[in-house]
Amino acid sequence: MRQTLIVLLAISLIVLFIFGFPILKKWQRQRIKQRHFPPLWQAIIENNVPIYLALNPQERRRLQGHIQVFLAEKQFIGCQGLQVTLEMKVTIAAVACLLLLNERGTYFPKLQSILIYPNTYFVKEVTSNDGYVVEETQVARLGESWNRDQLVLSWEQVQRDTQNWEDGHNVILHEFAHQLDQEDGRAEGVPILLQKSDYQFWSKVMLREYQNLCLKVEKGMKTTLDYYGATNPAEFFAVATETFFEKPRQLRKKHPELYEQLQRYYQLDPVQWI
Ligand SMILES: [Zn+2]
């Protein structure tokens, strides 16, 4: 009898945790979003993220709520002696949360910390040739997001990218797009889509666009999407995301189907902000 009661209690607690935790999390986030948005944060965003001024009042309020949740949940770590400032945190959060603007509501669930380097950083890359010759090289990086619970950014690059919004390059959008891509555990250029029926068309359009880009890169032709997108399908999605937010008009004109897929995925139409 006692054993049965213990088992029943354990099952009840597990059920309560499984179903109660998401509800509690949602409730907590709602409370965070209702907090007053600090004027200093607002000033930082207006100064560092010019696209913010193009959003309508509802979008701005929604973005503010996402930023509040993001900053409450993520940890920032300065590297190579860098002191993380409020300006860094708010700027990174504002751009990253643009990707969540229309209530994606997932807040990059696997990501725990954002590592910030003062400028370009170097990592050791080990390559082996037929398993016999092992080469170790120092490779310069501006950002990366291959470790799912950590994302790395160069502050110097963040500043450059946020101030030059319409050049199609943005390390924050790029690395956080990788986070979205990896939410299902795989980095293959297919994030979690709204409906099951969306996958087939997404794969068809993305593959065609990726192959077209690879072909143009091979021929050295001019492209709207950065050449780096031809590296692999995961990089293609990250580069397409940068272009979607920063050069929406060109992307819609030259690649209407790709634009449409991204518009459906992000539930946004950045052309309206330009
Ligand atoms: Zn990348």
**What pLDDT shows up at residue 129?**
64
**What pLDDT shows up at residue 66?**
97
CA of 153 to the centre of ligand 1 (A): 12
**What pLDDT shows up at residue 132?**
63
CA of 238 to the centre of ligand 1 (A): 6
**Average pLDDT of 95-103?**
92
**What pLDDT shows up at residue 110?**
92
User: pLDDT at residue 17 above 70?
Assistant: no
Could you please state the CATH topology (level 3) that the domain comprising 188-274 is classified under: Collagenase (Catalytic Domain) (3.40.390)
CA of 9 to the centre of ligand 1 (A): 47
In CATH terms, is domain 18-166 a member of 1.10.472.150?
Answer: yes
First-to-last C-alpha distance (Å) of the chain: 69
**What pLDDT shows up at residue 14?**
67
Largest CA distance in the chain: 76
Residue partners of 184: CB distance under 8 A and separation at least 6: 190, 191, 192
CA of 178 to the centre of ligand 1 (A): 7
What is the pTM (predicted TM-score) of this model? 0.88
List, as ranges, residues with CB under 5 A of the ion ligand 1.
235, 238
CA of 175 to the centre of ligand 1 (A): 6
Query: Which 3 state secondary structure label does DSSP give 116?
Result: strand
CA of 212 to the centre of ligand 1 (A): 19
CA of 179 to the centre of ligand 1 (A): 10
CA of 90 to the centre of ligand 1 (A): 22
**Average pLDDT of 45-64?**
95
CA of 40 to the centre of ligand 1 (A): 32
**What pLDDT shows up at residue 121?**
76
**What pLDDT shows up at residue 206?**
97
| Rounded-to-integer distance, Cα 225 and Cα 207, Å | 14
Sequence spans of domains, the chain: 18-166, 188-274
CA of 130 to the centre of ligand 1 (A): 26
Each residue's pLDDT tens digit, 164-221 = 888 999 999 999 999 999 999 999 999 999 899 999 999 999 999 999 999 999 999 9
Helix or strand run (H / E) with residue 238: helix 233-246
CA of 193 to the centre of ligand 1 (A): 20
**Average pLDDT of 239-254?**
97
CA of 4 to the centre of ligand 1 (A): 52
